[in-house]
Structure 1
Amino acid sequence: MSQPKIPTYILSGFLGSGKTTVLLKMLSDFKSRGLKPGIVLNELGQVNVEGHMFKGEKMLEMLDGCICCTIQDDLREELQFFLQEENAVDILLIEGTGVANPKEILEALTDPRLRDGFETQSIISLADASKFLEYQSIFSSSREIREMLNEQITSATLILLNKMDLVNEKTKDKINKKLRKQLKAEVEIIETVYGDVELDELLKKRMSTVAVSLSKETGNAGYSHHEHEDHHHHEHPFKAFKIEDFPAVERIRFEKWLKKLPESVLRGKGMVSLASPSGLYQFQFASKEVEMERMEDQNCRTCLILIGYNMPIEEIRVSFQQEVLQTVSI
């Protein structure tokens, strides 16, 4: 019997927005409920100056790099730690650096090699209300800061607008208007002071994974939701979905299909068996670009994972069959 996936939450937010305060409060709440949390802390420097706050926790420290770039491969390797029986946790929290792009952390988590171990529930991004308008202004911040903040906000499934005690009503209205322009309608904004939020709000499942089957035995028009732990009866706009165990494909046909996918598909990755040159290849797909690399281990199962927002899953499944596998749609 396979182990249940570890529910995983990504904590994001610019420097000084209050991520660590929220993380510590979540840990305290978990313990009061008898849950065993695991933590991944990421720091750009060689030392985590806040490490002492987490003594006694099941924790991985990723130092001297940012998960979203230089140590993404390390994260994939290190996460295996939590899949060992002696290190089992009930829930995992990943706090990126203040300049981490949550999409890149999500990409590491949805690596096909980890697909059966972790399930991302939500990307919680904190924004500092007292600095928000200043950081967004072309007059008082750099393009890099504005772009990074935009990445953190637009990839969130929940926004915590923190330090609300430091702004007046007029500023609050301006911030909310600006945020609503950047966010999808479904993304909730919770206003907070000292990151104080009910744990149940933070733990709501705001992303989901759909397993897509190519076999005739599966009902529901060929794909099925595996969301037994989700008790909310609404559709999640953010999804990852996967297709597994498909035969060898033609590289040109496969790449052409990827590049034609709808804009709502933000990322693609997985392992494909190519007909020519034959063999198993790992692929990455982002911004309409495809990268392929032959795998050392040629015994893995084929797997395609797509991550996106309101994706037309059934359309994509049918087009994969017709255009890549060249089989009749089921």
Structure 2
Amino acid sequence: MKDVYLFSGFLGSGKTSMLTDVIRQLKEKGLKPAVIMNELGKLPFDSQAVEEDVPLKEMLEGCICCSGAEKTEAQIQSLLLDNEFDVLIIETTGAAHPVEALDAVYSPLFAEKLNIKGIVTVADSKLWLNRDVLTPQLRSLFMEQIRHAHLLLANKTDLLTEEEQAKVVYELQGFNPQAFILQTTNGRVPLHLLEGLAATTPIDKSNVVKASVSSMQLGSRLVEFEQGSFTQEQFEDWVRQLPDSVYRMKGFVPIEGVKNPMLFQYAYGMVQWLPEFVKMPAKLVIIGENVGNVQVIGVD
């Protein structure tokens, strides 16, 4: 499996500085990194920081978390087919919401090939202290990026006094108590902290859940179904009783009387079914918080 890291953070927080340093550390360890970089503009300014020997896919003029979701899936498929690499780093734009970005990374077509290690959010420490100057919409996005992080970098601490540094750490820890918080300058993070993350909760062949250490945070779970084990009505009854902590689901669901597993998508209470004319693997990806404890129809 390929380890995958999602780098999140507000505009100008220091994500690209972190990216270049993590690439350096991976290479020093003998690992081959690959990068998907999402930029809102027409020109790939940030991608110039990635060395030529690193496989790179760019997404310009579109956020990874909205219209770019299908493009992201195609880019990952292309990397898996055409490149040899050990670790995939996906750098989102500063405008990306972590839940939406994580959803764009997952596909039941290659979920078994990827091990999502976690969301690493770079937060500008000075901006955190001055967050009240942001518009309500930007402030909400800034806070959501921090709330869903598995590893949180309080960056640019060199611009703060010791008292301000302590205030930032105390407030961030209270806002996201599950995340490990590291005070940094220039986005420098030791590789072992990244390698210790575990955001994916897999299912083994006996359908026993292997809960990860971060199961209370934003993460995912891959479920495999037996062919034609329930009706569409039974499946939707199960969906309706899911906790609010389940944000997204997508995959191919086997339905009694239907030849091929149907394409199923769920987002914040809305359900969509589409017929599939090719037999796809009967797998479902669940994205949310504490997904390891969700009882799954036909599995638990």
Q: TM-score, normalised by structure 2?
A: 0.90
Change (3 A) 1:38 1:226: farther
**Stretches of structure 2 lacking an aligned partner (at least 5 in a row):** none
Partner of 2:98 in structure 1? 102
Aligned positions of 1:124-203 closer than 5 A? 124-135=120-131, 137=132, 140-183=133-176, 185-203=177-195
The alpha carbon displacement at 1:145 in A equals 0.4
The alpha carbon displacement at 1:52 in A equals 2.4
The alpha carbon displacement at 1:188 in A equals 0.9
Aligned positions of 1:169-318 closer than 5 A? 169-183=162-176, 185-211=177-203, 218=206, 222-225=207-210, 234=213, 236-238=215-217, 239-248=219-228, 249-275=230-256, 280-295=261-276, 297-311=277-291, 313=293, 316-317=295-296
Specify the code of the residue in structure 1 equivalent to 2:194: L
Partner of 1:231 in structure 2? none
Give aligned-pair identity as a percent: 30
**Stretches of structure 1 lacking an aligned partner (at least 5 in a row):** 228-233
CA distance in 2, matches of 1:266, 1:87: 32
Specify the code of the residue in structure 1 equivalent to 2:47: G
Specify the code of the residue in structure 1 equivalent to 2:80: L
Contact 1:124 1:156 (C-alpha < 8 Å) held by counterparts: yes
Give the structure, 1 or 2, with the largest relative contact order (CA under 8 Å, sep 6 or more).
2
SS in 2 for 1:17: coil
- RMSD of equivalent CA atoms: 2.3
Specify the code of the residue in structure 2 equivalent to 1:65: G
Contact 2:198 2:214 (C-alpha < 8 Å) held by counterparts: no
Specify the code of the residue in structure 1 equivalent to 2:278: Q
CA offsets 1:28-68 (integer angstroms, 9 cap, x no match): 11111221110111100111113322241211111111101
Q: In the alignment, does 2:62 pair up with 1:65?
A: yes
Specify the code of the residue in structure 2 equivalent to 1:148: L
CA offsets 1:132-184 (integer angstroms, 9 cap, x no match): 1222x1xx21111012112211221110000011112343343334323321x
Contact 2:221 2:291 (C-alpha < 8 Å) held by counterparts: no
Specify the code of the residue in structure 2 equivalent to 1:268: M
CA offsets 1:263-297 (integer angstroms, 9 cap, x no match): 333322211133477753222222222222223x4
Change (3 A) 1:284 1:181: farther
Partner of 1:122 in structure 2? 118
The alpha carbon displacement at 1:187 in A equals 1.2
The partner residue of 1:15 within 11, 14, 22 is 11
CA offsets 1:225-284 (integer angstroms, 9 cap, x no match): 399xxxxxx564344222213233322321221121123333222111334777532222
Contact 1:112 1:269 (C-alpha < 8 Å) held by counterparts: yes
CA distance in 1, matches of 2:292, 2:78: 35
CA distance in 1, matches of 2:139, 2:167: 17
Q: In the alignment, does 2:40 pair up with 1:44?
A: yes
Specify the code of the residue in structure 2 equivalent to 1:164: T
Contact 2:225 2:254 (C-alpha < 8 Å) held by counterparts: no
CA distance in 2, matches of 1:7, 1:312: 19
SS in 2 for 1:316: coil
